[in-house]
Structure 1
């Protein structure tokens, strides 16, 4: 009898473990799902006409800030053409949710809803949370925080009825003057870019969101914005293989569901004159699909961009992208024209029937994986509270705390005495900042100074004279522009003022701007205490005050090389 009891207990423990393991098992990935036949996908595919199969590959632009006539025009495209999906841009979350619910009623096959959300919904939508930019995330040493962010971004997307984040950016930004990638990249170290990108998209995918690494084969070392012209990537195949492509290879190995192709001329990979990589079969099919064995969704960058239509107008770009190996043709200038031209190309045998079927079924399989086989409307109830919760805001603060990077200083120069006479200076602004307001709570004997970026020399001289009367000076250098560019738009006198302050022994400087801006501030390297915080967010301004008060130990490391004084990886712990 005792033996029987032991066996029974053992069996019960095994079954209990099985239940626990299954409860925490992750959903099968999109890439894994492609290995098994899907009856829903097959059924939908067989019901579609050839024209509507082609239409599944087309994703068109949508907004909620352009008025009713624009919204209605998109609805007409959905109804008439039965396209595969939408890419939403600027607007508001409530308006978008309601519009998506209306649009889905017009589609015979549910639409796949995509957005660019490199820093979450806030990249496109008002009244939503913006997580830190990818360069800021590049400074963080604990990648589990970035995974956690990925899961939250996925929850935010799904809450408004979206299924596909066209992120992360996995370009290696090794050109400080890059006009289009820059702070959108995790940095200039290919290993760091790969690890951060994988942490981010794994979080999103584990929480049920489709993702796309961009911009293959690597847009980080260009000085032309492909929105306006075709960038040239003039490097050797060996260089591209070892550097630019590295994060994408790692992402593919880690199971990324999609890859977005850049518009770039890359002679080492395809010698065709003025041919963007989005239209190159040797690059898309030859390298990405055949050599790198990528089986997921291949997505074009926007096909309305000058980098592609400048040399291939009138729908020619859409057909060439289709033939090159594209699965999702994003933002064609004219989707109806694109469908008809691709239909004609298919009739002439541009690609095989088998290859065409694989493309369409990949898009349908993505819809199935996203749950669109059992489509349910997103609910507008409590939307604002759900996408702006204390938990989301706490996560932004955690990420910000982990990004603060000390470039110069130690405990004696960084941690300040709250009882000394203190000047709190914000440069580049005309009104008090979150940094000043937060610091003032901890330094009761303080005065606030604002220095506008265009203050004339005589005004700066007076301020410097006043600052000499204070026992300690806390300085914030702010870039208040919407996007943190590589160079500050301060006048030369304000830059000289920063150099003057950097040379004073009682001054702590924090840069709330793109890390590259430090290279344009000669003399700042003389600081006894210097921190870089990558962007001008209220959370990072609060993080610095925690460091000054000794309640936060900064662990960030510089994700890009600024100059000879501050190379990649610089970061001093306290």
Structure 2
């Protein structure tokens, strides 16, 4: 258990260089070598780094998109995480603020840890804010048990672009008021367990088709449009009180007097819109500064860190050039400028360490996921009566890929007899009653969610030639590639977790009604 001095004492005790060091948040990786671990320990000690953010491995980080290095699995990731946190804390003169992206749980970064539903699944709930509160709280407890103070979540971007390669399923939906409602429940649950949150990605990353890990997205909307949609959740949540706001790497000319500067290094957007117009007084944290939307434009070490700080970021996330950035900031910044950011960051640390509680890790994900599965299951097309009538018939069950053995078919198989057949380009079935279970290979939309063109063609041919009742265990935007008009029934299950498959089977067997509501719009083929 670490303690942290009150701000007035710390302000007198720390040198200006130490205060500037508190603004840096380099990345820490679970799968680092001993040499890399020791290098980060020295950086923390020598540069007085204030916080670190954990990622799985360097191979899975944004800078690896071109290298395509293989991501090595680590079955002992959780124990490694706890051990590394202790080592890095021991290296720090002042206690570190430990952060992680745990939007749907530590499983977002750490193997063999509890996973909760994606935001898009929570977006399908009709009310049931108590369940979202429980998700936020349980994730926070999981974080605390590992020694993490700060969950860089939730995403409050509006999900209004089906081709968005990086947000999509991470958003609660396309209706701004609903996003605010669900984000509020998530934040309150997180705060209830004493963990910090960060709403992201200001000023709104939803309506983009460019991945900011790779390039700079441009949002060509008027300020009025942005205030009605993209900025709406940020304003409402800021008014309620939030710990921090993460600024994304986005070009939004309407908020920057026509300039195409990335929002993450734009004084107009951070100091102007966020601070002055919206009145946010808390900590501003940059999105990862290694992301190529900005990093590839500033090859000189330390320059990007300086620009991000000077624009108004208090914490510089995923800084790759901490030493050079620190030197640049202490050389160019006004003393008052450093002091202002240091005060905000140190007070956030006080809150984090003041909230510390001793917790034991408990995996409560299964019962919570089951309840969310029951409440989010969405009947997109068809009727409950039609499903019940179909389930009494002789039918064939189709599945894609390697999902021959799945809890969905297993549960149904205990009450019904049917043949299971894998969908292949050469499969020929005509005029049959078909139960089709689709498990998209990936949750992101690139490369048709992992489906090959041949697979999609075969799926749509089978739907056109048979009486198909489709259960989709994945991102609902997959339906943009499906001939939904020809399907008799479409049920969206959102996740492939065993609990969601069990609920889907119970729905097919007529044991429960679908209660969810699709939080996004599907474009008909």
Q: TM-score, normalised by structure 2?
A: 0.90
8 Å contact from structure 1 (residues 186, 192) kept in 2: yes
- Find the aligned partners of 2:184 and 2:498 in 1 and give their Cα distance: 27
Question: Which residue of 2 is the match for residue 546 of structure 1?
Answer: 506
Larger Rg: 1
Aligned to 2:439: 478
1:94 maps to what in 2?
79
Moved more, 306-315 or 210-219: 306-315
Q: Which residue matches 1:406?
A: 379
Alignment of 1:254-403 (within 5 A): 254-271=240-257, 273-314=259-300, 315-346=302-333, 349=334, 353-371=335-353, 386-387=361-362, 389=363, 391-403=364-376
Q: 1:499 to 1:515 in 2, by over 3 A?
A: same
**Residues in 2 aligned to 1:214 and 1:486: alpha-carbon distance in whole angstroms:** 26
Q: Report SS of the residue matched to 1:159.
A: helix
Measured at CA, do residues 513 and 540 of structure 1 come closer, stay the same or move farther in structure 2, by a change above 3 Å? same
Change (3 A) 1:310 1:500: closer
Q: Secondary structure at the match of 2:347?
A: helix
Write the distance in 2 (CA, Å) between the matches of 1:260 and 1:205. 17
Aligned twin of 1:128: 113
Moved more, 282-291 or 472-481: 472-481
Which of 185, 203, 208 aligns to 1:199? It is: 185
- Give unmatched runs, 5+ long, in structure 2: 57-73
Check conservation: 1:480, 1:536, Cα contact below 8 A. no
Q: State the match for 2:205 in structure 1.
A: 219
Worse-superposed segment, 252-261 or 473-482: 473-482
Contact 1:230/1:274 (<8 A) preserved: no
3-state SS, counterpart of residue 223 of structure 1 = coil
Aligned 1:39-188 pairs, distance under 5 A: 40-90=6-56, 92-141=77-126, 142-188=128-174
363-372 vs 410-419, which moves further: 410-419
Q: Is the 8 A contact 1:303 1:331 kept in 2?
A: yes
- Note the alpha carbon deviations across 1:369-409, whole angstroms, 9 max, x for none: 11269x89x89xxx6xx24x2x3221122112222110112
Bigger CA drift: 227-236 or 164-173? 227-236
Distance 2:133 2:227 in 1: 27
Quote the Cα distance in structure 2 between the aligned partners of 1:85 and 1:488.
35
Q: Aligned to 1:341, what secondary structure does the other structure show? A: helix
Question: Following the alignment from structure 1 to structure 2, what is the Cα–Cα distance between the partners of residues 404 and 236?
Answer: 36
Say whether the 8 Å CA contact 2:288–2:317 is kept in structure 1. yes
Partners of 1:393 and 1:188 lie apart in 2 by 28
TM-align CA RMSD:
2.3
TM-score normalized with structure 1 length: 0.82
The within-5 A match list for 1:243-262 is 243-262=229-248
2:65 corresponds to? none
Find the aligned partners of 2:189 and 2:115 in 1 and give their Cα distance: 17
Post-superposition CA distance 1:47-88 (Å, at most 9, x none): 111111000000110011122222222111111111001100
What is the distance in 2 between the residues matched to 1:111 and 1:439? 51
Question: Which region of structure 1 is more displaced relative to structure 2, 216-225 or 529-538?
Answer: 529-538
Q: 1:124 to 1:488 in 2, by over 3 A?
A: closer
What is aligned with 1:448? 420
Q: How many residues align?
A: 501
